[in-house]
Amino acid sequence: MAPKKAKRRAAAGDSGSSNVFSMFEQSQIQEYKEAFTIIDQNRDGIISKDDLRDVLASMGQLNVKNEELEAMIKEASGPINFTVFLTMFGEKLKGADPEDVILSSFKVLDPEGTGTIKKEFLQELLTTQCDRFTPEEIKNMWAAFPPDVAGNVDYKNICYVITHGEEKEE
């Protein structure tokens, strides 16, 4: 693309990716930008294998294999600039099952159709079945979705947050 055309497209807000920016709220874009800046350790505007190695090392993950880093980088179709980074997150979010499918899964655990599940029951399932939650993940779950005084968890809200990324306005 010619430089003038690129400047016009950039000024018009077109990043050439079916406008990934419209998928997110401005506050979310800012959070992703902050994350991108943290990961882009050498500040060249592209996330590289070395950037990933450095940021993982800063979080205590020291002996990460080259193959693992290469696999992460290969998830992108090309160099990972901010627009590609945002697109990757958009694709991951779109990869979640539709809300009605997730809701139906929870309804199997709620034969009376109350819209809630007992905290103890849900915690037991999450820590003993399939991809088990760690104690930290369980703690985060209850911080994000605290049970009511009777110990019930509103699974409809959980489904909404999984598919929309934020709590419903009551």
The answer on 74 and 106 residing in a single domain is no
**Is 134 or 16 the better-scoring residue by pLDDT?**
134
In angstroms, the CA 148 to CA 132 distance is: 24
Averaged over 144-148, what is the pLDDT? 94
pLDDT at 124: 93
62: in domain: yes
Residues 75 and 111 in one domain: no
Domain total for the chain?
2
Apex 93 CA angle, 88 and 94, nearest 5: 95
Backbone phi, psi, residue 11, to 5°? -65, -30
Question: How far apart, in whole angstroms, are the C-alpha atoms of residue 146 and residue 118?
Answer: 11
Dist CA 157 CA 147 (whole Å): 11
Query: What CATH number should be reported for the domain holding residue 73?
Result: 1.10.238.10
Please say which residue of 41, 76, 93 terminates a domain. Answer: 93
Same domain, residue pair 55 and 105? no
Domain containing 108: what range? Answer: 99-164
The 10s digit of each residue's pLDDT in 37-69 is 999 999 999 999 999 999 999 888 888 899 999
DSSP-derived 3-state class of residue 153 = strand
pLDDT for residue 4 is more than 50: no
Which pTM was predicted? 0.49
DSSP 111-144: TT--SEEEHHHHHHHHHHSSSPPPHHHHHHHHHH
For 61-112, write each residue's pLDDT tens digit: 888 899 999 999 998 888 999 999 988 888 777 666 777 888 888 998 988 8
- What is the amino acid identity at position 43? R
Look at residue 169 and tell me if it is in a domain. no
